[in-house]
């Protein structure tokens, strides 16, 4: 379904969606971040890239998975805690962040479906916004099979045409949102379609950074497992973990028990994001650690994204948002690393 | 509704046996589920054991699948969870989720000679498959166990081993000399080299610390075992057990799901990072 929505009608549309929880980028201090919108008036789509991707709404940084307690007669009780199920809409999702979600679906689906993830995922509608200008100077979506107007993972893609939005619904969930305010939408005319095409084409030209020849990378990485290259590239890494915490596709987590009282026992089991750049991530209790140095941990981050994930799911586990580059305190740049891989030893 | 994979089922400890005391204590626990359920598993599979308030640990089931009344685990005291388990008493409750992992391809081994090679607590993960093969002795060729520990006190299943000697060949070893010890003195891989098991129609199943496994494989290769005849289990730090938390991988494999059992033919193709 392809529609036009006047910008002046946008607020009205959002008001009609009041039965949903609405998330959108909000500016707090200097940063943009996805937050729950209480007043539709707060919603504005002029955001640059958010610090964290909307991944955190479907897969929160911290969530309780169960509670345990012993009652007075010392019976142990374990209670499953599943997230509440209210339907949500996320507005202003960048196409790269949207593409990360089907990748997470693969991880949290499969042989063992993850009920915590899917409870939220099934109830979340993703409304994307094309990037007419790249929100970051390190955007490289085109190199990883994406684009600034990719529809993958989205229910609706909106494109800013100046005084109106081009609104393309891509799924039944998307159609529903438009149908809730049918009278606000118009049919696109030939000029709108032409404008859309031009804006999309132009937006691609504005992406400056690229990985040279990504097709060769997975095989090259496989050959380079033992290479001293990883020592050289990782020397400056502080193992702060920013690169993976900010990544829209990273899914690694930890599970720990938190005690509220020890007698009678009362507490919860909590899942939190974890990080392959931390030495502790893989360290056994014995002290043995298969990835004990920075080199093996950088290698893991790169190979997981550009070799293992491809082998497992036939996709790169990177959507080119550029956050890990912009925010790394020591300037480790995944594009540079991959371009060096491409040319290594030749 | 589908069972939530993260929610353990409650079980009661019905028996605790001290296998090894001292600085590296090992205890064997038998547990029974509080509610009747359909828990079924294969030899070599593991479960996530919960001590509520402490966390979870991946532990191999050391009883054979044929035994339905209880599940048995032999546990070396290491950190938070395993220490808490060591403090538990009969009647205390734990959580169990699983079973996880691929298990041993025991059906494919029918008619073959099986050589079990273990070090320290590493006998526990192969005890289930050993007992299963022993129970169906007529379906397999010769059964042999080569097992060792640091000292005679560190050997697990001491009484069971005495019984076992009546039923199959058992070669024991300890790392350093002790007055009463009449069997091999030296590391497990050296004992393998010393006993020279024949590769003919044989499968070896080995489990122990990473360094022992490495040298056992070397010893077996020297004895001209093929890569596909050598099976081992891999241990990596685990949290979810279901291929999602991302920490137990070797290359694209998640050991919790795709392992922990590998033939050397399979394992050597993966990045050597475990
Ligand atoms: C497939 C498999 C089978 C195993 N079978 C047995 C067995 O039969 N008997 C036995 O005694 N031990 C076994 N282990 C090792 C056992 O899981 C660890 O010793 C145990 O998890 C340590 O937990 P802790 O809380 O006491 O230590 P801590 O140091 O407090 O560990 C914190 C957490 O990290 C994780 N962790 C740390 N080290 C390991 C490790 N080596 N392996 C897996 N997770 C780890 C656990 O989730 C643990 O709760 C097995 C490990 C694996 C991977
Ligand atoms: S953000 Fe940079 S310094 Fe921090 S862990 Fe990642 S690569 Fe290392
Ligand atoms: S333990 Fe989580 S992926 Fe294997």
The secondary structure of chain B, three-state, reads CCCCCCCCEEEEEEEEEEEECCCCCEEEEEEEECCCCCCCCCCCCEEEEEECCCEEEEEECCCCCCCCCCEEEEEECCCHHHHHHHCCCCCCEEEEEEEECCCCCHHHHCCCEEEEEEEHHHHHHHHHHHHHHHHCHHHCCCEEEEEEECCHHHCCCHHHHHHHCCCCEEEEEECCCCCCCCCEECCHHHHHHHHCCCCCCEEEEEECCHHHHHHHHHHHHHCCCCHHHEEEECCCCCCCCCCCCCCCEECCEEHHHHCCEEEHHHHCCCCCCC
| Domain-terminating residue out of B57, B80, B100 | B100
Could you tell me if residue B153 is inside a domain?
A: yes
Q: What contacts A336, CB < 8 A, 6 or more positions away?
A: none
Please report, for the domain that includes residue B78, its CATH number. 2.40.30.10
On whether the CB atoms of residues B103 and B44 are closer than 8 A, the answer is yes
Residue B5 near ligand 3, beta carbon < 6 Å: no
Residue A277 near ligand 2, beta carbon < 6 Å: yes
Determine the structural domain holding residue B22 and report its residue range: 9-100
A288 half-sphere exposure, CB direction, 13 A CA radius? 13
**Domain A2-59+81-205 classification at class level:** alpha beta
Report how far residue A298's alpha carbon sits from residue A332's, in angstroms, rounded to the nearest whole number: 10
Could you tell me if residue B266 is inside a domain?
A: no
A-chain CB neighbours of B240 within 8 Å are 253, 255
On whether the CB atoms of residues A191 and A273 are closer than 8 A, the answer is no
Q: At residue A150, does pLDDT exceed 90?
A: yes
Please report, for the domain that includes residue B165, its CATH number. 3.40.50.80
Q: At residue A298, does pLDDT exceed 70?
A: yes
Report how far residue A140's alpha carbon sits from residue A325's, in angstroms, rounded to the nearest whole number: 11
pLDDT at A74: 75
Q: At residue B172, does pLDDT exceed 90?
A: yes
On whether the CB atoms of residues B28 and B74 are closer than 8 A, the answer is yes
Evaluate the CA torsion angle B59, B212, A226, B269 in order and state its sign: negative
Residue B2 pLDDT class (50, 70, 90 cuts): low
Total number of residues shown for chain A? 346
Q: What contacts A197, CB < 8 A, 6 or more positions away?
A: none
Beta bridge partners of A240: none
Q: What is the pLDDT of residues B5-19, one digit of tens each?
A: 999 999 999 999 999
- Chain mean position to CA B227: 20
Q: At residue A137, does pLDDT exceed 80?
A: yes
pLDDT at A71: 82
Q: At residue A346, does pLDDT exceed 70?
A: no
Q: At residue B1, does pLDDT exceed 70?
A: no
Report how far residue B28's alpha carbon sits from residue B62's, in angstroms, rounded to the nearest whole number: 9
Residue of B241, B250, B253 best suited for mutating to test ligand 3, as the one with most atoms within 8 Å of CB: B241
Q: At residue A89, does pLDDT exceed 70?
A: yes
Q: Do B53 and A252 touch (CB under 8 A)?
A: no
pLDDT at A299: 96
Report how far residue B248's alpha carbon sits from residue B239's, in angstroms, rounded to the nearest whole number: 8
Q: Give domain limits for chain A.
A: 2-59+81-205, 214-254+274-343
A113 half-sphere exposure, CB direction, 13 A CA radius? 10
Residues B208 and B158 in one domain: yes
pLDDT at A300: 96
Could you tell me if residue B271 is inside a domain?
A: no
Residues B149 and B125 in one domain: yes
Residue A42 pLDDT class (50, 70, 90 cuts): confident
Residues B56 and B136 in one domain: no
| Domain-terminating residue out of B65, B100, B135 | B100
Give the tokens for residue A301: 């981050």
A-chain CB neighbours of B55 within 8 Å are 255-257
Q: What is the pLDDT of residues B216-256, one digit of tens each?
A: 999 999 999 999 999 999 999 999 999 999 999 999 999 99
Report how far residue A202's alpha carbon sits from residue B240's, in angstroms, rounded to the nearest whole number: 45
Could you tell me if residue B244 is inside a domain?
A: no
Report how far residue A56's alpha carbon sits from residue A132's, in angstroms, rounded to the nearest whole number: 25
Mean pLDDT of A150-155: 98
CA of B142, closest CA in chain A: separation in Å?
A: 35
Nearest Cα residue to B98 out of B161, B162, B31, B8 = B8
Residue of A nearest to B4 (CA): A115
Residues B19 and B84 in one domain: yes
**Could you count the other beta carbons within 10 Å of the beta carbon of residue B19?**
22
Mean pLDDT of A199-227: 94
Residue A17 pLDDT class (50, 70, 90 cuts): very high
Is any Cβ of chain A less than 8 angstroms from the Cβ of B86? no
Tell me the whole-structure pTM to 2 decimals. 0.94
A-chain CB neighbours of B6 within 8 Å are 65-66, 115-116, 255, 269
Q: What is the pLDDT of residues A247-262, one digit of tens each?
A: 999 999 999 999 999 8
Report how far residue A291's alpha carbon sits from residue B233's, in angstroms, rounded to the nearest whole number: 19
Residues B65 and B147 in one domain: no
Mean pLDDT of B33-47: 91
Strands B169-174, B143-149: pairing kind = parallel
Could you tell me if residue B268 is inside a domain?
A: no
Residues B81 and B132 in one domain: no
Residues B114 and B34 in one domain: no
Residues B194 and B77 in one domain: no
Give the tokens for residue A231: 């020592």
pLDDT at A30: 83
Residue of B nearest to A303 (CA): B251
Number of the ligand closest to the Cα of B247: 3
Return the minimum-mean-pLDDT range out of A74-88, B233-247, B255-269.
A74-88
pLDDT at B38: 82
A159 half-sphere exposure, CB direction, 13 A CA radius? 26
What percentage of chain B has pLDDT greater than the value 90? 94
Residue of A277, A295, A331 best suited for mutating to test ligand 2, as the one with most atoms within 8 Å of CB: A277
Residues B132 and B95 in one domain: no
What percentage of chain A has pLDDT greater than the value 70? 100
Q: CB contacts < 8 Å between A and B, how many?
A: 110
A-chain CB neighbours of B95 within 8 Å are 78
Beta bridge partners of A185: A5
Give the tokens for residue A226: 């033992």
Q: Do B247 and A113 touch (CB under 8 A)?
A: no
Residue A345 pLDDT class (50, 70, 90 cuts): confident
On whether the CB atoms of residues A277 and A300 are closer than 8 A, the answer is no
CA of A186 relative to ligand 3 center, distance in Å? 49
Residues B176 and B200 in one domain: yes
Smallest Cβ–Cβ distance between B95 and the set A78, A110, A256 belongs to: A78
Is any Cβ of chain A less than 8 angstroms from the Cβ of B82? yes
Number of the ligand closest to the Cα of B44: 1
Please give the mean pLDDT across all residues of chain B: 95
What percentage of chain B has pLDDT greater than the value 70? 99
Residue that is written with structure tokens 């009969």 in the block: B90
Residues B133 and B215 in one domain: yes
Please give the mean pLDDT across all residues of chain A: 94
Smallest Cβ–Cβ distance between A255 and the set B52, B56, B210 belongs to: B56
Mean pLDDT of A116-145: 95
Number of the ligand closest to the Cα of A114: 3
Residue of B30, B45, B57, B130 best suited for mutating to test ligand 1, as the one with most atoms within 8 Å of CB: B57
pLDDT at B175: 95
Q: At residue B42, does pLDDT exceed 90?
A: yes
Q: How many domains does chain B have?
A: 2
Residue B273 pLDDT class (50, 70, 90 cuts): confident
Residue A284 near ligand 1, beta carbon < 6 Å: yes
Residue A181 near ligand 2, beta carbon < 6 Å: no
Residue of A nearest to B95 (CA): A78
CA of A247 relative to ligand 2 center, distance in Å? 12
Q: At residue B267, does pLDDT exceed 90?
A: yes
B-chain CB neighbours of A267 within 8 Å are 52-53
Could you tell me if residue B274 is inside a domain?
A: no
Could you tell me if residue B238 is inside a domain?
A: no
Pick the residue whose CA is nearest to atom 27 on ligand 1.
Answer: B79
B-chain CB neighbours of A269 within 8 Å are 6, 52
| Domain-terminating residue out of B100, B131, B162 | B100
Q: What is the pLDDT of residues B112-169, one digit of tens each?
A: 999 999 999 999 999 999 999 999 999 999 999 999 999 999 999 999 999 999 999 9
- Chain mean position to CA B77: 15
A241: left (phi over 0), alpha (psi -120 to 50) or beta: left
């Amino acid at each position: 379904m392809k529609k036009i929505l006047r910008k002046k009608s946008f607020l009205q549309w959002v008001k009609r969606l009041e039965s949903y929880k609405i998330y959108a980028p909000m500016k707090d201090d200097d940063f943009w971040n996805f937050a729950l919108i209480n007043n539709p008036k707060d919603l504005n789509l002029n955001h640059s890239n958010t610090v964290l991707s909307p991944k955190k709404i479907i897969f929160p940084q911290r969530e309780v998975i169960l509670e345990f307690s012993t009652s007075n007669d010392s019976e142990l009780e374990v209670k499953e805690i599943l997230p509440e199920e209210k339907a949500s809409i996320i507005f202003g999702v960048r196409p790269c962040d949207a593409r990360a979600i089907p990748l997470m679906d693969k991880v949290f689906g499969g042989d063992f479906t993850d009920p915590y993830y899917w409870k939220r995922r099934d109830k979340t509608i993703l409304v994307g916004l094309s990037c007419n200008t790249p929100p970051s100077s390190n955007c490289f979506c085109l190199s990883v099979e994406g684009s600034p107007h990719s529809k993958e993972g989205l229910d609706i893609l909106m494109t800013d045409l100046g005084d109106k939005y081009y609104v393309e619904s891509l799924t039944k969930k998307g159609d529903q949102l438009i149908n809730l305010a049918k009278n606000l939408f118009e049919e696109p005319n030939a000029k709108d379609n032409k404008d859309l095409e031009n804006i999309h084409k132009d937006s691609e030209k504005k992406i400056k950074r690229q990985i040279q020849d990504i097709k060769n990378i997975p095989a090259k990485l496989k050959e380079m497992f033992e290479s001293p290259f990883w020592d050289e590239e990782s020397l400056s890494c502080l193992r702060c973990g920013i690169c993976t915490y900010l990544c829209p596709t990273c899914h690694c987590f930890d599970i720990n028990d938190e005690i509220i009282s020890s007698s009678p026992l009362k507490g919860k089991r909590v899942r939190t994001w974890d990080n392959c750049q931390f030495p502790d991530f893989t360290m056994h209790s014995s002290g043995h650690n298969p990835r004990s140095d920075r080199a093996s941990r950088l290698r893991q981050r790169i190979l997981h994204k550009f070799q293992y994930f491809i082998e497992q799911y036939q996709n790169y586990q990177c959507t080119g948002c550029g956050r890990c580059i912009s925010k790394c305190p020591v300037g480790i740049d995944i594009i540079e690393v991959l371009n060096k891989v491409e040319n290594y030893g030749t | 509704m589908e069972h939530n994979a993260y929610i353990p089922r409650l079980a009661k400890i019905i028996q605790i046996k001290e296998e090894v005391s001292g600085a590296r204590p090992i205890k064997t626990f038998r547990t029974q589920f509080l509610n009747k359920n359909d828990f079924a598993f294969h030899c070599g599979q593991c479960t996530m054991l919960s001590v509520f308030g402490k966390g979870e640990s991946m532990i191999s089931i050391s009883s054979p699948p044929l035994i339905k009344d209880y599940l048995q685990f032999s546990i070396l005291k290491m950190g938070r969870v395993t220490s808490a388990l060591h403090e538990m008493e009969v009647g205390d409750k734990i959580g169990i989720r699983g079973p996880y992992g691929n298990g041993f391809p025991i059906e494919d081994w029918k008619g073959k000679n099986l050589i079990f090679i273990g070090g320290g607590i590493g006998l526990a993960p192969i005890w289930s498959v050993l007992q299963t093969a022993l129970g169906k002795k007529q379906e397999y060729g010769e059964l042999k166990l080569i097992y060792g520990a640091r000292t005679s006190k560190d050997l697990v299943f001491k009484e069971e081993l005495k019984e076992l000697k009546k039923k199959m060949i058992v070669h024991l070893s300890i790392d350093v000399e002790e007055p009463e010890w009449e069997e091999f003195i030296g590391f497990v891989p050296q004992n393998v080299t010393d006993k020279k098991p024949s590769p003919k129609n044989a499968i070896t199943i080995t489990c122990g610390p990473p360094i022992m496994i490495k040298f056992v494989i070397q010893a077996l290769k020297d004895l001209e075992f093929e890569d596909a005849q050598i099976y081992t289990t891999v241990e990596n730090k685990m949290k979810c057990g279901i291929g999602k938390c991302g920490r137990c991988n070797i290359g694209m494999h998640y050991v919790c799901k795709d392992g922990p059992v590998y033939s050397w033919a399979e394992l050597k193709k993966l990045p050597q990072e475990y």
